[in-house]
Structure 1
Amino acid sequence: MIESLGLFDRQVAEELFAIHPEWQAFARAEDDCGENALIVSLRAPNPRIKEPLVITTEEQEVSVFFDTYHGHFNELNDGALSLAEKITSDQYSIVSFWRDAQFCCSSLCENSALPSSNDDYPYANRIVFRSWSGEHDKELSCIGRD
């Protein structure tokens, strides 16, 4: 599969699998404008997380997606690998802010520093926490301000 990737995508794959060879079992190549990009899909053990954590090299950048959060990077070691490891190590959670059923924004937070209020995003009336294992999952209702 690695041989079928474009040059940038192959370089990212080789770097990633040198550090996490176990992730190669979850990798595939996918067409990206005539050149194959790397897609790695890691299923979280948390049953509340419906979609896998995805690392992709589409459009000549490394992107990491998990729950309602994502990041885009110029290369694997420009923060993409760190982001994936922070999530899969269960040291960080995704914190998403909602106003009723409307998604407002999300952020990555260390589990020891999860917010206890909507002070950072006062419009929200609900805060949802999602972690890799589910150990840190919770929902917090709060009073949203307009």
Structure 2
Amino acid sequence: MVEHGLVIDSSNDEITVGFDCYHSHFDQWLGDGAHFGTTAALEFVKQIMTEQVAVVSWWQNEEWRGSAQLEPLDSAKPPSWAAAGTFNRIRVRSWNGTHNADFSA
């Protein structure tokens, strides 16, 4: 089960795409007449929905500590900010649940 389903928001002159406990910002920058931020946001949504990208989050008991994108075949290695004892479990979530996993850390 995911904390939050797919969320797409277009406020504050940017697009924010979120899934589970992760989100990413895409600015509305223009170039050659194209909205590159919009194109990138749509591509990210496609990657989530086709399970080319999953999300990983790090937790200390029930307290969220951080999250990131994860390509399904990559390992959920600890982030650079994570010192010993800052998290004790890792959670991976994907759109259809194919890559869902929970690990003790």
- TM-score range (shorter-chain normalised) is 0.7 to 0.9
Q: Which structure ranks higher in relative contact order (CA pairs < 8 Å, sequence separation ≥ 6)? A: 2
**Alignment match, 1:89:** 50
Distance in 1 separating the partners of 2:61 and 2:2: 20
Distance in 2 separating the partners of 1:92 and 1:118: 17
Distance in 2 separating the partners of 1:119 and 1:76: 28
**Alignment match, 1:70:** 23
SS in structure 1 of the partner of residue 44 of structure 2 = helix
SS in structure 2 of the partner of residue 58 of structure 1 = coil
Task: After TM superposition, give the deviation of residue 119 of structure 1 in Å.
Answer: 6.8
Check the 8 A contact 1:118/1:125 in 2, yes or no.
no
Larger radius of gyration: 1
After TM superposition, the structure 1 = structure 2 runs for residues 95-106 of structure 1, keeping only pairs within 5 Å, are 95-106=56-67
Change (3 A) 1:50 1:118: closer
Structure 1, residues 92-144: CA drift from partner, whole Å, max 9, x if none? 111000011111000001001032x54753421100010000011110001xx
**Alignment match, 1:58:** 11
SS in structure 1 of the partner of residue 68 of structure 2 = strand
**Alignment match, 2:95:** 132
Change (3 A) 1:119 1:107: closer
Superposed CA RMSD in Å reads 1.7
Distance in 2 separating the partners of 1:51 and 1:129: 13
Flag as ranges the 4+ runs of structure 1 deviating above 4 A: none
Q: Which runs of 5+ in 1 are unaligned?
A: 1-47
Check the 8 A contact 2:3/2:21 in 1, yes or no.
no
Give the TM-score, by structure 1 length: 0.58
Q: Which runs of 5+ in 2 are unaligned?
A: 28-36
Distance in 2 separating the partners of 1:119 and 1:69: 14
Equivalent pairs, count: 93
Task: After TM superposition, give the deviation of residue 59 of structure 1 in Å.
Answer: 1.8
SS in structure 1 of the partner of residue 48 of structure 2 = helix
SS in structure 2 of the partner of residue 96 of structure 1 = strand
